[in-house]
Every structure is written in structure tokens, then in C-alpha cells.
């Protein structure tokens, strides 16, 4: 997303993920939370060599390689798009009345 403003990023994410909108707006909030938790465990933290939940990050240095950055960027883009579509879904439901 390097250096792009929020409107451009949002527009690009809408275009990139528009075909998945309907799928992402189904399910329960609990299912969405569980999905995010799994991604945190497997993508965000699970792929960091040497990371543990009880690690003293003030004393420990963790290096992230380019592959991690690429895979994480992909996951972050998808999660941002999901969040946007899901928020829009709930706002639209709420504002109908």
C-alpha cells in the first residue's frame, strides 16, 4: 500500500475483492472473530521464527524476512476489505429503519 492515501487504497481494495463481497457478508460475528484469530495465529505470529506469546519483546529482536512481509501484506489487504464490506453491511442494516 506504500505511500498511497486512504481513498486510493480503499478504491483498489474494493476493485480487487468485489467478487467476494457477498461471501464475506454472511456468517456470524463469532465466526468472523474466530477467522481473524486463526489468521493471527497462523499468519501474523505463527510464521515469526522464535516468537512465543510470552516472549519479552523489549529484550528480544525479531527479524522479518521479505517473504513474511509479502504474505502479511496480502492478508492485511484481504482483512481490510472484509472489514469494510462487513461494516458497510451492518451500517446498511442499521440505517434501514
Summarised one tens digit per residue, pLDDT across range 31-45 is 999 999 999 888 888
Output the pTM of the full model.
0.77
Q: Domain spans of the chain? A: 24-48+61-97
Label residue 81 exposed, middle or buried (CB < 10 Å: 0-12, 13-18, 19+).
Answer: buried
User: Do the beta carbons of residue 81 and residue 16 sit within 8 Å?
Assistant: yes
pLDDT tops 90 at residue 86: yes
> What digits encode the pLDDT tens for the residues 19-73?
999 999 999 999 999 999 999 888 888 888 777 778 787 887 778 888 888 888 8
Amino acid at each position: 500500500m506504500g505511500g498511497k492515501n486512504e481513498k486510493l487504497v480503499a478504491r483498489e481494495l474494493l476493485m480487487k475483492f468485489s467478487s467476494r463481497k457477498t461471501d464475506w457478508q454472511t456468517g456470524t460475528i463469532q465466526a468472523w472473530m474466530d477467522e481473524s484469530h486463526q489468521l493471527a495465529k497462523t499468519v501474523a505470529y505463527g510464521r515469526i521464527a522464535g516468537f512465543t506469546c510470552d516472549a519479552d519483546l523489549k529484550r528480544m529482536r525479531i527479524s522479518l524476512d521479505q517473504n513474511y512481509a509479502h504474505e502479511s501484506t496480502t492478508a492485511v489487504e484481504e482483512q481490510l476489505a472484509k472489514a469494510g464490506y462487513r461494516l458497510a453491511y451492518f451500517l446498511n442494516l442499521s440505517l434501514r429503519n
